[in-house]
Chain A
Amino acid sequence: MIPMHEVPGSALPGPAAINTSALSKRYGKVTALSTCTISIPEGRISALIGPNGAGKTTLLRLLAGLARPTAGQVTVNGTTPRQDPAFLADIGYLAQEIPLYRRLSAEDHIHAGAHLNPRWDAESVRERLTGLKIPLGRAVGKLSGGQRAQVALALILAKRPRLLLLDEPVAALDPLARRNFLRVLADGVAVGGLTVVLSSHLVADLERVCDHLIMLASSRVQLCGDIEELLAEHQILTGPRKDTTAIERSHRVVQVTRTPRQTTLLVRLNGPVIDPAFEASDVSLEELVLGYMGQDAAPAMAHLTTIGEEK
């Protein structure tokens, strides 16, 4: 009998859909991704978050097998990404640019997909696009950006992949379409057999559907794990004291914001906070994300606060 407190609230991690170890990618002298070690269990919707240029696209392309690692290992669906129809059939990757043949219609793309994939659910694409009133016969180059994104997303789902890698898929969609699409993803995952990695800047959207988070900044992984667990591990401490060395000694301070009267800290907890001068509060996903993004900008912010104090 295992004591209850030893089992975390979330289910035990199942087999991993994605495992990387010390994965790095350099383009010439530019390091796009550095020593990235992550693991995403099957059946999760993982949010890939990070500032522009953090390496999100590079990571997705490495997972899809479109780019080759400079160093490190990747395992996707149990194998190294490779040029093999069976591997490719299980991956759905949608690039940020929404690549479609501009002169071909949605119907042409449906035909092409049927010729190029072992599993292909043409009816689901027609149904979805007809429901969205997107003309199947018109060249996709003549559709609006949002409609093109809908066509591409419907096509990627028709492949019935085990792993969906989506690079800012909802950026072009209106809020309602965004919500509908994310619900489709959530339903797909709930039915089983689907894992999703989704990059986006829209934290509110991600919060609604994602249960896993990968945070990249400056080509490195800052955070990777179950969102609930990550939120539980972090707290915001607010207090009058300017001296934070005691807290820094026992916890990892992610971000410090100082005003003349109080200091706010985002900390990754390492046990309970015992300093009574600080008031602890729960952290939201947005605060967590902005806190880690703000790490890079910290020196500039400190400079600004100094100017404020001198006034």
Chain B
Amino acid sequence: MEQESEWEPKLLGFLCRWCSYAGADLAGTSRKKYPANIKIIKVPCSGRVDPLFILKALRMGYDGVLVSGCHPGDCHYQTGNYRARRRIVITKKFLEYMGVDPRRFQASWVSASEGVKFTEVATEVTKELSEIGANQLFVDGK
């Protein structure tokens, strides 16, 4: 049977190694389903994420970016996610001002035991991205 090539959103996820990545792993071992649109990059801490990564991902054609880390107060490195929070929030607001749909860059706090939450986040974000449509932000010649 031939597969219809329908556009599927591409989501890039930066997951912190101690909480969110473990949470995603738990979702897997618990056989919880979530859309395969997300590609995950493991970072040691959400504080590792430079806004540059987000812009670069959008530039490369990803339809959305998700940054996920430990809950505030639970960071393995004590303060990494606090720093990430400040950066994420100003990046979100600034990109929205520039004209990027705010749903393209999202963030979440997912702990190592929240496998279910991770599946919910991944599903919701993917759904929102399918609603917005493909990322044409950096496409030439319009």
Q: Do A and B bind each other?
A: no
Footprint of A on B, CB under 8 Å?
none
Footprint of B on A, CB under 8 Å?
none
